[in-house]
Every structure is written in structure tokens, then in C-alpha cells.
Amino acid sequence: MNAPAIEISGLTKRFGSFEAVHDVSFTAEAGRITGFLGPNGAGKSTTLRMLLGLVRPDTGTAYISGRPYRDLPSPARTVGAVIDSAAAHPSMTARDHLRTACALSGLPAARIDDVLAAVRAEDFSDRRIGAFSTGMRQRLSLATALLGEPEILVLDEPSNGLDPFGIAWLRGFLRDFVAGGRTVLLSSHVLSEVQQTIDDVVVIDRGRIRWRGSVSDLPDDQDLEQAFLSLLDEGARR
């Protein structure tokens, strides 16, 4: 069997005396969408940032395609990430932003029209980012992540700010993305939005993994939101 596309083992991160992430381990497999789910402050972003080499773990390892992010020979061609969709410069247009991103990652500018079309952002590609709605910013971030034609997408709260049409579109986009054997790891705290999108679930609460499994393993009479809330209740009583 091939190694998992993403493999996280024993990650722990403290900020001062506060332990934000404790001994977190899970995998995300090729051909599947893995949902990394938990309430606000659970440790999702910190874990994804450690995976992408943006935060140094105290202990543990995080591998993408078998290597730590910093050791990937061509990171942008391996993994596309959306971590902070507000990071783009407000005076640039979407197209300028993508041109800069291509230059920084050594990618051909010929990709720009493809990714704008892929996220259906052609209509606002020449407008200034400062005037974008949150949903437009999310699409631009996703377009940026797609520039290197990566096999793996890591998305922190990708449906934030999307309207119901945007959420339905994103679901279809991600399903198509993994259909050919590529991998998606996405975080969310809005379970109702991801229930129909994901294949596998990793639940984190107060820095600890509470449950890992496939959506199809959930009891028939429980939807993801119910299962999630009862898991968190159990965790709180412990």
C-alpha cells in the first residue's frame, strides 16, 4: 500500500504554559476528503500550520507525500494550501496577486487563466482585492493554491464566507479534485456544511483527538453534527 498523502504523528504544541495541541496523530488518504473538525480554539489551525512548516512543533512529525514540508523539492507542485484568505494585498487585483504568487514559486504565468476559470473568478479577476467579499477572497485563495497543480490541498475553513451556492460549488469542486486520486484535508467548525463533502472525519477538541473514522462508520441514526456534539459532551465529562 502507498504511504498516506498526509501523515501526522504525535504533534504537540505549547504556547507558553498553554498546550494548544496534544499528541495529535492522523492521516489523510489519497482519493478522499478528510474533514478536520472541532469547535473554535480546538487546535485545528495550529495543527495545519505545523503541517505546512509555519509553526514549529514541540514534539511529533508531520509528513506530506512522505516528507516534512520544508524538505519537499517543489512545495507548490505538491501541496496547495489555504490558511489565511485575508493575506492578499488589498491594492492588487486578483490577477496581479496570482502573477506574484507564480513568480515567487517559480510557476508559469500561463496557469493564471486556468485557475481563475477553475474557481469561477474570471468576472472579478481585474478588480482590486480590497473591494472583495469574503467569498471572493476564498476563491482567490483557492486559485492561488491550485497554481502548482498540486496533488494535495490543505484548506483551513474553506467554506467561511461562502453563500449556499458557493458551498455547493466548492463541494463539487473538491469531489472532482479527489476523484482522480488526489487528496484534500479541510478544517471546519460548521459541521452541517461539510457533512456531505467529506469521506473521513478527525474530531479535535481542546487540543486532543476525540474520534477518527469514516463518515460511513457513524451510526445510521446520527448525523455528523449529533455525533460530534455527543463526542464533545463525553470529552467534557472526562
With CB under 6 A as the contact rule, the residue among 5, 6, 8, 20 that binds ligand ATP is 20
Residue 59, beta-bridge partner list: 12
Q: Which is nearer to ligand ATP, 157 or 200 (CB)?
A: 157
| By the rule CB under 6 A, 86 interacts with ligand ATP | no
* Amino acid letter, residue 11: L
With CB under 6 A as the contact rule, the residue among 1, 2, 17, 40 that binds ligand ATP is 40
| By the rule CB under 6 A, 35 interacts with ligand ATP | no
* Amino acid letter, residue 228: F
Q: Which is nearer to ligand ATP, 45 or 65 (CB)?
A: 45
| By the rule CB under 6 A, 190 interacts with ligand ATP | no
Cell numbers linked to 218: 457513524
Output the smallest distance, CB 31 to ligand ATP, in A: 26
Q: Which spans in 73-221 are helix H?
A: 75-78, 94-105, 111-118, 134-146, 164-179, 191-194
Q: How far apart are CA 212 and CA 237, in angstroms?
A: 19
Nearest C-alpha neighbor of 82 from the set 36, 11, 142: 142
With CB under 6 A as the contact rule, the residue among 38, 57, 75, 135 that binds ligand ATP is 38
Residue ranges binding ligand ATP (CB under 6 A): 15, 20, 38, 40-46, 189
